[in-house]
Amino acid sequence: MSHGFRIGPVRVANRLVLAPMEDVSNQPFRRIAKRIGGPGLMFTEFVSAMAIHYGATKTLRKMRIHPDERPLGIQIFGGEPETMAETARIAEAMGTDLLDINMGCWVPKVCKTGAGAALLKDPDLAERIVRTVVAAVSIPVTVKVRAGWDYSMFAAPELARRFQDAGAQAVTLHARFAKQGFEGHADWELIKRMREVVTVPLIGNGDVKTPDDAERLLRETGCDAVMVGRAAISNPWALARIRARLLGHAEPAEPTLEDRVAVAIEHAERMVAFEAEESEPGDPDLELRAIRQLRGQLPLYIKGCPGAAALRGRLSTVSSLDELREILGRFLLESDREEAMVGTSSASR
């Protein structure tokens, strides 16, 4: 099996893809994920076509791309072909390599506008959106779907067939039904069944956490690439391990506690720098705004390490870079001291 694959003219160097994740897959996260984990392809968090249509600058920012992260796909969502096409054109002008259409988001705020997974219930509109977007841009258009709206119908194969005819150049299946949310398990059998109808590259997604999972998903379903989401949050090393396995390389060593702390701080610094690009110089709330977005992710960097649970509370209210450095610096010192004490007590036995 070759190491990479192509989506239209876009060459993807390996079979690991980083998932689009709202409030997670922003530029700072993606650049860290790329440097440490090296996925062949990454996607932005989803971008509302309607918000872009109304000129929301905060939403526009989600489409800013750094050359380090390419190839990259900007993912957009919406329920109207024309606004989707308009946003696709803007995304193309911002330099994206691929344009991905979200048809998997099940949350009510998205579905009630007719977007995301709601499109799984309206194949004609879904196809029209794909066709209109394909006609609007010259980069490849891809679609990310769930298996269907509910268990009563595995709609994805028929939809995928229509999307291919409409010009889509790859399809991702998150192997759950929309009604499931994140419950139960992803059913990889559904990915295997999609393989029978999808002739463009098929990206399989759902519950891949380890190199074994990734290898098994590729082997059992025949899909072209594996998309990883939650396992990569605050854990780019999980991507590195999976990538190494897929490339037949030796698996990298586990990160040390120092590595984890250093990358947590780097992530926060990058968030602040990214926020600063669009803020007034000297804006006193800038750090707080940037770091607040990371509060949920910071504790995950050290999850499972001795003493980490006690830090959860403090990390979830942290509001500046200095405070973060202080908390994590003290945590490292304390764990060094504890290790030294364990060393002394076992030496004296």
Ligand X SMILES: Cc1cc2nc3c(=O)[nH]c(=O)nc-3n(C[C@H](O)[C@H](O)[C@H](O)COP(=O)(O)O)c2cc1C
Q: Which amino acids are annotated catalytic? A: 105
Tell me the residue type at 196.
E
The least CB distance from residue 77 to ligand X, in Å, is: 7
Per-residue binding string, ligand X, 139-178, x by CB under 6 A, is -----x-----------------------------x----
Q: According to CB under 6 A, which one of 79, 206, 236, 299 is a site residue for ligand X? A: 206
Q: According to CB under 6 A, which one of 207, 213, 224, 275 is a site residue for ligand X? A: 207
Per-residue binding string, ligand X, 20-59, x by CB under 6 A, is xxx-x--------------------xx-------------
Name the segment binding ligand X (CB under 6 A); options: 59-67, 79-87, 206-214, 332-340.
206-214
CA distances from 94 to 84, 173, 226, 256 (A): 15, 26, 26, 37
Residues 6 or more apart whose CB falls under 8 angstroms from that of 318 comprise: 291, 295, 298, 324, 327
Name the segment binding ligand X (CB under 6 A); options: 18-26, 238-246, 251-259, 337-345.
18-26
The least CB distance from residue 146 to ligand X, in Å, is: 8
Kind plus residue range of the DSSP H or E element containing 205: strand 202-205
Per-residue binding string, ligand X, 208-247, x by CB under 6 A, is x-------------------xxxx----------------
Do residues 190 and 172 touch, judged by C-beta distance below 8 A?
Answer: no
Tell me the residue type at 188.
W
The least CB distance from residue 120 to ligand X, in Å, is: 13
The least CB distance from residue 186 to ligand X, in Å, is: 6
How many residues sit close enough to ligand X to count as binding (CB under 6 A)? 21
| Cβ proximity to ligand X, 98 vs 257, nearer residue | 98
CA angle 118, 224, 71 (to 5 degrees): 80
Please list the helix, strand and coil fractions of the chain in percent, rounded to the nearest 5, in that order: 50, 15, 35
Name the segment binding ligand X (CB under 6 A); options: 17-25, 134-142, 249-257, 310-318.
17-25
Placement of tokens 């200095």 in the chain: 322
The least CB distance from residue 268 to ligand X, in Å, is: 18
- Nearest position to ligand X, beta carbon: 229
Which parts of 2-56 fold into alpha helices (H)?
A: 27-32, 49-53
Per-residue binding string, ligand X, 89-128, x by CB under 6 A, is -------------x-xx-----------------------
Q: With binding defined as CB under 6 A, does residue 19 bind ligand X?
A: yes
The least CB distance from residue 162 to ligand X, in Å, is: 19
| Cβ proximity to ligand X, 40 vs 104, nearer residue | 104
Placement of tokens 């800038």 in the chain: 286
Residues 6 or more apart whose CB falls under 8 angstroms from that of 291 comprise: 268, 271, 272, 318, 319, 320, 321, 324
The least CB distance from residue 187 to ligand X, in Å, is: 12
Q: Give the C-alpha separation, 140 to 169, whole Å.
A: 6
| Cβ proximity to ligand X, 45 vs 275, nearer residue | 45
Contacts 24+ apart (CB under 8 A), 50-53: 50/78, 50/80, 50/83, 50/113, 52/76, 52/83, 52/86, 52/87, 52/90, 53/83, 53/86, 53/87
Tell me the residue type at 162.
R
Q: Give the C-alpha separation, 105 to 317, whole Å.
A: 29
Q: Give the C-alpha separation, 94 to 72, whole Å.
A: 11
Name the segment binding ligand X (CB under 6 A); options: 14-22, 135-143, 305-313, 315-323.
14-22
Name the segment binding ligand X (CB under 6 A); options: 187-195, 199-207, 304-312, 331-339.
199-207
Kind plus residue range of the DSSP H or E element containing 204: strand 202-205
Please report, as ranges, the residues that interact with ligand X according to CB under 6 A. 19-22, 24, 45-46, 75, 102, 104-105, 144, 174, 205-208, 228-231
